[in-house]
Chains A and B, each alone.
Chain A
Amino acid sequence: MKFISRVFVSAITLSFLSLSVAAETITIATVNNGDMIRMQKLSSEFTVANPDIELEWVTLEENILRQRVTTDIATKGGQYDVMTIGTYEVPIWANQGWLYELDNLGEDYDIDDILPAIRDGLSVDGKLFAAPFYGESSMVMYRTDLIEKAGLEMPDAPTWEFIAEAARAMTDKDNEVYGICLRGKAGWGENMAFLTATANSFGARWFDENWTPQFDQPAWKETLDFYVDLLNDAGPPGASSNGFNENLALFQTGKCGMWIDATVAGSFVTNETDSTVADKVGFALAPDTGLGKRGNWLWAWSLAVPAGSAKAVAAQKFVGWATSKEYLDLVADQEGWKNVPPGTRLSLYENETYLAEASFAKMTLESIQSADPTNPTVDPVPYVGVQFVAIPEFQGIATTVGQQFSAALAGTTSVDDALANAQSTVTREMTRAGYIK
């Protein structure tokens, strides 16, 4: 008996010892976006500074990643120590108790430097549950040469009417130049992010104060008619399967006159090695219709530590590193200021070198600061979120609605049918989920 207990004790001591000596391996799940791939490349700096921590990367395409991390966190699978998630997931997951509070990000982390709009989105009851890696709103990116050729001038704050006119004027299908590229690929984070934000500027909303779906209202019809007509007249072929990445490739190869999408694309379209139009890009705020709301969203890809992680301390250390000011300096040092992950820290936008090098910086900051997730629509709504509705059911219903709107764009259903289907599906699901009594 004594012998056994002694073995037991020494085994425990041994395992503790080995824990403290051997490197701890943390598994990081992230999206295969350019900024994250850069983070992976630069992460050797972190492991050199922290020899007791090793990193394992799981880099996946956005939709697969989201499905994998959600399954894992909801079943407490514990496969990941750091997860890359967005402003939609953070409040919902934090409320479920699925995330650790980030209260130990490092001494000189300077949490007050984080843009207030972004920080609010990642906090619950004043506690931070995810640290922003990069933040974004949406804006108009346009070709200065093409708009000049069309004899027009882009204002800093255009209306949808002007955008439509310019798009049609810039289109030259024989030379494969399409006036406007917009998201059409079905998905709550794809076409529905764009359309929900756009609908806000047309005075539409997802639900009224009693959670009654509003797709049968004229504002939604106006939004969708406008969108479908515009893309049919002035959009690229195959618009209904274009998401952010597809449109980025089109814009970079000079096939789009305008592109309304994430501000983070500013550095990609002005990057000389990848973009053939790098020196001919201008930026403007997302359009409006004069109702008081612009169609710009708010999003931040953020790093969070799941509550199931057994290596939370090391994980938080990494999160602190990847979202710190030092990391921004590191990227600037190695890859140039333009490639610094944007939209998270005030100090970045006070940096004269950055502002001089990144032509998109000013518009990015203005767009982020003007987005208002708590008050996103013209008419009052019971929900929070600009391009999403922050309830767990949203990703499911918005994906189904996105399918309908994508079909309307492809021309396989009419706008009216798409809206009617959306209305009935959403009503069905909301009734099922108990929002509609």
Chain B
Amino acid sequence: MATTHTQRTAKLMVSPSIILLLAWMIIPLGMTIYFSLLRYNLLSPGTESFTGLDNYKYFLTDPAFFAALSNTLVLVLGVLLITVIGGILLALLLDQPMFGQGIVRILVIAPFFVMPTVSALVWKNMFMNPVNGLFAWLAKLFGAQPFDFLAHAPLFSIILIVAWSWLPFATLILLTSLQSLDKDQMEAADMDGAGMLAKFFYITLPHMSRAITVVILIQTIFLLSIFAEILVTTNGGPGTESTNIAFLVYSLSLLQFDVGGGSAGGIVAVILANIVAIFLVRMVGKNLEA
């Protein structure tokens, strides 16, 4: 019998957050929707005029749009794949007894603290640069031609950089989950003579599934709007090979100063993000309810 009194306090306590987030959503979003219906170039003020859905038509028929859409998906999925699988393996390894576990953990966690612009600058210049980078030097050491990562595998390179930043996050969550695994269950499985793989697939993995879901959810939220890494390394190129939706919207609104088109793109991005969110929410809902 939760009293109406506590119910009311509860509402009172939630409402500031809801009101703030609603305002945060509605005011800029409302303005964005309004701008998206205008022909509005920042460089030609005073020429704004209502154009209906013209901006949307231009954005959706832009050949770059489909490239950006698929790049966004590849980027998100690629990073998720690397961080989840790498995270599981690393968590399994770090869960074993070893010398200097604390220090190893410090080493592994470090990339998470590095700001995206810095990590992109460092990878681009000091590692992937085909003349002065360390990778080029390694290639030459083995007698191979240096590979020009950012020109010939731009999306892959960005996935690599982003995955490096997020691997620690995945590893930590998965490791915590692993450490809460019931040791008795493992010993019982040992008694039954279960093999390593069997134990992993029947006991460990199901136990970690919640943690994996959480990793996927949180990372997707951040990965959908990856921007700094692209801006610093490839500027979306060559061509549109590494342009994702966020970067396309950026190039419309801040390189071409086409506020109308950029706003339309922003709205499209919001809709797409919400579609992804619905999928995610279904998945999480199932997994987190238990």
Contacts and interface: CB of A to CB of B under 8 A. Distances in A.
Interface in B144-162: 145-146, 148, 150-152
A404 B239 CA distance: 5
B239 A403 contact: yes
Contacts of A92: 43
Contacts of B45: 74, 96
Interface residues on A, range: 35 or more
Interface in A170-223: 176, 185-187
Interface string A380-421: 000000000000110111011001101101111100001001
Which of A75, A249, A406, A432 neighbours the largest number of chain B CB atoms within 10 Å of its CB?
A432
Interface in A235-276: 236-238, 240-241, 249-250, 253, 255
Contacts, number: 103
For the complex, would chain A's binding face be called helix, strand, loop or mixed by DSSP majority? helix
Given A403-B240, A412-B238, A392 B41 contact: yes
B257 interface: yes
B238 A240 contact: yes
Interface in B226-270: 234-241, 251, 254-258
A410 B152 contact: yes
A186 B237 CA distance: 7
A370 interface: no
A396 B58 CA distance: 15
Tell me the interface secondary structure of chain B in the complex: loop
B145 to A, nearest CB: 8
Contact of B238 (A186, A237, A396, A397): A186
B131 A237 contact: yes
B281 to A, nearest CB: 35
Nearest to B129: A238
Contacts of A71: 42, 254, 257
A67 interface: yes
Contact of A396 (B63, B145, B152, B257): B257
B236 A403 contact: yes
B257 A74 contact: yes
A238 B150 contact: yes
A123 interface: no
A399 B236 CA distance: 11
B42 A396 contact: no
Contacts of A238: 129-131, 148, 150-151
A224 to B, nearest CB: 14
A241 B58 CA distance: 29
Contacts of A399: 251, 255-256
10 contacts: A67-B254, A74-B257, A186-B236, A236-B130, A238-B129, A238-B151, A396-B256, A410-B237, A412-B238, A421-B63
Given A70-B257, A74-B42, 12 more contacts: A96-B45, A187-B235, A237-B130, A237-B136, A237-B148, A392-B43, A399-B251, A400-B64, A407-B239, A410-B148, A410-B238, A411-B152
